[in-house]
Amino acid sequence: MADSAYFDHAATTPMYAEAVRTMTEHLPVTGNASSLHAPGRLARRTVEEARETVAAALGARPSEVVFTAGGTESDNLAVKGLYWARRAADAARTRVLASPVEHHAVLDAVHWLADHEGAVVEWLPVDSLGRVHPEALREAIARDPSDVALATVMWANNEIGTLQPVTELAAVCAEFDVPLHSDAVQAVGQVPVDFAGSGVAALTMTGHKIGGPYGVGALLLGREYAPVPLLHGGGQERDVRSGTLDVPAIAALGTAAELATARTADFARDVGALRDLLVAAVAGAVPDAVLNGDPDPAGRLPANAHFSFPGCEGDSLLLLLDAQGIACSTGSACTAGIAQPSHVLLAAGAAPDLARGTLRFSLGHTSTKDEVETLAAVIGPAVERARSAGLS
């Protein structure tokens, strides 16, 4: 049995050793990829080779890969940039269609557009599993296709792990000439992700969720789209993302993307089996625990197990487990520490008390059976103690 267990891979997963080596090899090399001299050309070659690798891994053309500082920037560039571009071309296009279960990088960008840029936000309904149905999207667009700027629906939910029917949603959008953005930060490396095959206009991915470094990611962006930039400067990355390129991190991102996507089937099989053991262990120790998201393994991320524990505060239970060497999350790491119900579960129709008492256990490429057994040994007593504290 392990002395400690890390179940927060959805927040950050360890870098692959190969990605560490790639990044380390490039850290001492001097050269700005925008410079014309030999060191600059060498840096540019490294960037373009990584661009080709990321594109091949995710079913895109190299010209469709825009490097960014990570998922939050990619989400903001897609949502705000596409909105501005569409509204500039047609002032009537102010309606933004979004699922209410998005990561806050999308939710807050959408709210900002409503507060500052005149966007009219329409939240798409989700079912009890947190899933948007194509019929609901079609109904929303069809009410007035002429005023829709864009739609945004994530590929896989970061809290409860539910997969969205992205290809079907993109097909609906295509009928009405509406660009669909999808945040695929959690999906890459866990399920097959094919940018061209999906039909989406823009797709977000990031390095530190797939065995790459922090602070680097990409927005896959169809060539026909030119979002208004968030950053202005040197005009790098198709004139939509200015800034000196982080060559070592981009090189490591390419390595991680290649490895993560090549290993997706093995990851789903092996980590999915560990996830099933974890679910059984928690259910055995806490019979009234509620597994959130799609109970069908085919409909959720293989590394995700998200529970509600009746009578518990999620933050209290997290800290009790942390004292036992168990690292997990109450949901998105970006909002950790804020005692509030899960917006994802509320949107899916859960009661506020149940939405407040949640924990997310997320596994990764370094997860082991020993870690699952460590959790199994302590989860029952921890829940009992959390419930007792709530009654006192």
Other beta carbons within 10 Å of 295: 10
Question: How close are the terminal C-alpha atoms of the chain, in Å?
Answer: 33
Q: Strand locations in the chain, DSSP E?
A: 5-6, 65-68, 95-98, 120-123, 148-152, 180-183, 202-206, 217-221, 290-292, 304-308, 326-327, 358-362
Cα–Cα distance for residue pair 377/369, rounded to 1 Å: 13
What region does 239 belong to: left with phi over 0, alpha with psi -120 to 50, or beta?
Answer: left
Other beta carbons within 10 Å of 90: 11
Strand partners, 360: 306, 329
Cα–Cα distance for residue pair 232/128, rounded to 1 Å: 42
User: In angstroms, how far is CA 392 from the centroid of its own chain?
Assistant: 38
The label of the residue with tokens 């949107």 reads 347
Q: Is the dihedral of CA 123, 170, 178, 238 positive or negative?
A: positive
Q: Please pick, among 173, 312, 328, 334, the residue that the annotation labels catalytic.
A: 334
Question: Residue 173 catalytic?
Answer: no
Q: Enumerate residues 6+ apart whose C-beta is below 8 A from 323.
A: none
Cα–Cα distance for residue pair 51/254, rounded to 1 Å: 7
Nearest to 305 by CA among 375, 203, 213, 227: 375
- The tokens describing 74, both together, are 């990619």
- The tokens describing 33, both together, are 């990829």
Q: Is the dihedral of CA 170, 145, 103, 203 positive or negative?
A: positive
Residues classed as catalytic? 334
